[in-house]
Chain A
Amino acid sequence: MKRIYLMICLLLLVVSFQILPAQETTDQPGVLKLPPEEYLPPMHLDDPALEEVLRKINGVDPYEVPDLELKRDKTYARTAEDVEPYSGVVPFKEHFLEQMPYTGPGRAIPEPEQVDTVKLGFIGPIMSTVSVATGGKSHEEPLGIQMLKGARLAIEQANARGGYKDRSIPFELVVTNDNGLWGASGNEIVTMAYKDNVWAILGTIDGANSHIAIRVALKAEIPMMNTGDTDPTFIETNIPWVFRCISDDRQMGYLLVDYLYRKMGYKRVGLIRASNRYGRFGVREVKDGSRRLGQPIALEMAYTLGTDDFGLQLDRLVQADVEAIVHWGNGGDAARILNQMRARGMDQPFFASDRAVSEEFVQIAGKNAEGVMCPYPWDPERTDAKLDYFRQAFRDRFGVEPDTYATHGYDGMNMLIWATQVAGLNRAKIRDVLAYRTKPWPGVSGDIYLTAAMDDVGEVSMARFENGKWSFYTREDLEVPQGFIPARDRISREATGDLE
C-alpha cells in the first residue's frame, strides 16, 4: 500500500516539476542594480574583535579547541519574570545561557586548492508538492520563493562585487526544494553536505523540516542559517552549527500576550490554530503566557489543514464566550476564519500570527481585514536607507516587492557570504566567525545580534490593518507594558535573594 502511495506521490512530484515553469520562479530575467557600496552588507572583516578569533581558529591543530570566550546571556530569550515557566521555583538547571562550543577537529581541514565556484546551499519550499505534513496540500511555496529570491539577490550582488575574496570566483547557489514529504529535507541536506559539497546552508520554513535539517547538519558538521522558521524550539536543541536571524514565535507571543492582557485587559481569549507543527508550537507561548499572567486561554480549537469550513471550531468559541480570538496558521486560513466569524455576527477582535500579513489574507478577507492585528518578527516601516536600497534592488531584479521571507533570506545569505569571505573555505571556521562575531550584523531587517543560543531576539512589532494597508507599531508606539526582565539567571537570582 505504501509503495502505491509513494508512486502516486512521485508522480505528482514529477507533475509539479513540469508545472513549475509556469509558476513564479526566481531566475526570471531582471536587472541587477547595485546600491551604493555604503548601503550594501559587509563583504570583508568589519569587526576588529574577530582578528583575534581568526588568529586563534587558524592556529589550532585537529586536536585543539581555540580558547575563545563563549557568549553568556543573563536571561533566556529576554523573558519577563512573570511569564517564565515555573517562575516560583528555582530550576535545577537552566539551558541556553552559555554558547555551545564546537570541539571537533573540523578547523584543521585544509581548504581545497582550487575551486571553480563557492557553493552555498538553499533549502526551502519552492515547488508545489503533496505533503502529508501539510495536509495533502502545499501552502508555503509563496514564502519559500520569496526567501529564495532574497538569497539569490545576495549571491548575485556578492558576485557583482568581485565574488569570493575578490578573486572573481563566483558564489554559486545550490537550490533544493523542501517538500516535507517523508522527511525529504534530511536527504537534501545529506546531498548538499556530502555530494554538492556546499560550505553552508540557508533554510527552511516548516518547523518539522527545519528540525530534520539541523539534525543532519549537526552530524555532517555544516553551518545552517535559518531565516524563516519562527518555531521557538528550532534553536532549543544545543546544536553548535545552527543560527537563526529572524525573531521567533516566542518573542511575538510575548508581545501579543502583553497586548492582550496588560494593555487591553481581556479576560477570556480563544485560540484557533492549524493542526500542524507551526500552529501547535506557535501558540505555546501565547497559551503559557496567558496562564502565567492569570488569564488562561478559554478554549483552544485546532483544524485540519485544507479545511474550508470552520463552523465547528467557531461554534465552540461562541459557546466559550470569548472576548477576543487569536489565530495561528497560514494567511489564507486566517482570512477564511475571519470571514466566517463576521458572517456569523461574531465581532470579537481578531488577532493572527504573522503569516496573515500577506496579500493573500487581504484579498480573501476584504473589508473584514480592517482592524486585524498581528505580531510581526520585525518592523518593516523602520527608516533605514539600506532597507530602501534593498527594496529597490529587489524590485529591479524580480519585479515584485520583497516580503519578510525575502528580507530575512537576503540578510541570512549575506551573513553566510560574509562568513565565508572572512573565514575561508572551511565549514568550522565559517561557523566560528558567525558564532563569535561581536558586532550586530547590519541587516536590512535591522541590526541582528545573535544570543548565546545563536538566535535573534531583536524587537518585534505589531501590525494592524487600517485604512486599507498594514501599519506597524513598536511596543513603545502602542504603549504596551512589559514584565520585569531580571538581569541575572534564575539560579543566581535565588542565590542572591533577587527573587524576593
Chain B
Amino acid sequence: MKVSLEFGFYGKSIITSLLLGGLISPVVAEEASPDPAGIELPYVYTNWKTFTTKDGLPNDHIFAVEAVGPEVWIGTENGLARLDKKTGEIQSWTEKDGLPWKVISALAYSEKTGELWIGLFGGGLARYSAGRFDHWHQLNSGLVNDVVYGIALENDNVWIATTAGASRYNTVTGEWAIFTEKNAPMEEIWNYGVSYNDGKVYLGVWGSGVLEYEVATGNWKDYLDPDGEMEIDLYRDDGIVHVITTGTSYIDGILWVSTYFGASRYDGRHWRGYFAHECGLPSDFINAIQGRSGTEAWFATDKGVGALADFETDTWVTYTRDTQTNEGLAIVSRGPEILKEVRSGINIPHNYTLWTEMDGNDVWIGTSKGLAWGIGEGYYRGLKAATPAKADSGPGTDEPNTTPVRR
C-alpha cells in the first residue's frame, strides 16, 4: 500500500509541528500499522454521497441545509432545492418559480405547521407552504433589514438575524418585534446567526459577541470577549474567543460558539476556547457551527470540516478533500496529536464549507461546490475501543483504509 503524505488543508500547525519535531516523516507515513491498541476512538464517517448541479441542484454554492425526515431542503446562491433522500431526486425553485429572491442564506422548517421559512440574502424573509411563497421585507413588514443571515423558530415565533438588528415575527398574531441597540445589549447590531433551544434564543452578533434571550422572562444577557481587544485573545478559556461571532448552537445545556477567530464552548460556568493550532479544528475561520450534543459539535470552516467528537478527551475528526488525489481524508486527533488517518472516496465536495446539519446519525455539509451527505451507519457517540484496521481497499471506494501515524 502506498499512501502519500497529503494532508489537504488540514490544520497545518499540527502537521508542521509534527514534521518539525521529527515525529513523523513521509517515509513513516507510508507505513501502515493497525489502530493503536488500547486507545478509544470516535466514529469516523467514511460513507459519503455528494450532490451538485449535475444532480439537479440549482447552484453549487450551498449556504444552508435543513434536514426534515425523508427530505432535505437546500438553500443555494441561486435558488431553493429539496432532495428526496430515498430516491435522490431533487426538485428546485428559482425566481421564475415564485421564489422572491435567489440567494438563500438560511432555512428553518416548522414541524408544527409544515412550513419552510427561508432567509433571503438581500431579499428579506419568505415562507414556502402549500406550494406558495409568501414574502416579507423591509417595506411591508417589521423586518428590520432585507439582508438576512439566520433564522430560528421559537414556539410560534420566527427569529430573523439581519445585518441591522434582529426581528421576531409571531406567526399566530402577526406581531413583529425589532431588537437593536435600543432595546437589547447590542454594542453593534450586525446579527449573523440565531439559534433556539430549551427556552433560550442565542444571537451571534458580529462585533458584539453572543446575546442570550430568555423566552420566559424576556431578559437579555451578553457574552463578550473579556480582553476587549480585537488583535489578541489574551487567555484562551476566559470567555468567547472573539466578538466577531458567526454562529451559536445550544444543546444539553452547552453553548457552542463559532467566530472567524476560533470557537468556544460554555457549560454555564466554564469556557473553553479552540484554535486550529492546537486541535483538530481545520481553520479558525468558521462559517457555521452545529452542536450535536454537549460533547460533540461540528464546525464548517474555510479549510474543511472539524468535528469535536468527544469534548472530555479533546478528540477531533477533521474531514477534508485531498485536492490532488480527490480522496476524502479524515484525521483523528487528540489535542495536537494525530491518532489516525482514514482515507475514503470523496467525502466533502469542497474544503470551503459553509454549513453543517445533523440528521439523526447522518450529517449534511454545505460547501461552496456542492452538498455532502455523510451516512452514519453504526454511528456512536463519544469513543469506543479501537478495532483492528481493515485491509486497504484503495482510494475511490467507500471502504476506508487507515494510516496510523507513528509517534
Contacts and interface: CB of A to CB of B under 8 A. Distances in A.
A211 B285 contact: no
Interface stretch (B38-46, B127-135, B136-144, B399-407): B136-144
B241 to A, nearest CB: 8
Interface in B238-279: 241-242, 244, 260-262, 273, 275, 277
Contacts of B121: 190, 216, 219-220
Contacts of A77: 231
Nearest to B235: A92
A136 interface: no
B73 interface: no
Contact of A94 (B192, B231, B326, B351): B231
B323 interface: yes
Interface stretch (A45-53, A62-70, A317-325, A415-423): A62-70
Contacts of B235: 91-92
A100 B323 contact: no
Contacts, number: 142
B206 A215 contact: yes
Contact of B207 (A62, A100, A233): A233
Interface string A169-200: 00000000000001100110011001000000
A55 interface: no
B147 interface: yes
A238 B243 CA distance: 12
A30 interface: no
B321 interface: yes
Interface residues of B, number: 56
B151 to A, nearest CB: 15
B232 A91 contact: yes
Given A211-B206, A211-B207, A237-B244, A63 B369 contact: yes
A438 interface: no
A103 B147 contact: no
Given A64-B323, A86-B232, A187 B122 contact: yes
A76 interface: yes
A232 B162 CA distance: 23
A183 B164 contact: yes
Interface in B122-173: 122, 138-139, 142, 144-147, 162-165
A2 interface: yes
Given A92-B233, A92-B235, A95-B261, A62 B350 contact: yes
A212 interface: yes
Given A103-B351, A215-B163, A6 B144 contact: no
Q: Give the residue among A63, A77, A93 with the most B Cβ atoms within 10 A.
A: A93
A248 to B, nearest CB: 12
A91 B147 contact: no
Contact of A190 (B147, B234, B323): B147
Given A183-B147, A219-B105, A233-B207, A103 B230 contact: no
A96 interface: yes
A494 B137 CA distance: 53
Interface in A266-320: none
Contacts of B82: none
B229 A86 contact: yes
Interface in A352-405: none
Contact of B303 (A62, A103, A216): A103
A190 B122 contact: yes
Contacts of A93: 232-233, 236, 241, 261-262, 275, 277
B103 interface: yes
Interface in B58-73: 60, 63
Contacts of A103: 9, 302-303, 351-352
A353 to B, nearest CB: 20
A95 B232 contact: yes
A93 B13 CA distance: 13
28 contacts: A6-B139, A61-B323, A63-B351, A65-B351, A86-B227, A92-B235, A93-B232, A95-B233, A100-B285, A101-B302, A103-B352, A104-B302, A105-B369, A183-B165, A186-B145, A186-B146, A186-B147, A187-B122, A187-B146, A211-B188, A212-B147, A212-B164, A216-B147, A219-B63, A219-B121, A236-B231, A237-B260, A238-B260
Interface of B: 9, 60, 63, 102-103, 105, 121-122, 138-139, 142, 144-147, 162-165, 178, 188-190, 192, 206-207, 227, 229-236, 241-242, 244, 260-262, 273, 275, 277, 284-285, 302-303, 321, 323, 326, 350-352, 368-369
Given A77-B231, A237-B244, 10 more contacts: A63-B326, A91-B232, A92-B232, A92-B275, A94-B232, A95-B233, A100-B285, A105-B350, A182-B138, A238-B244
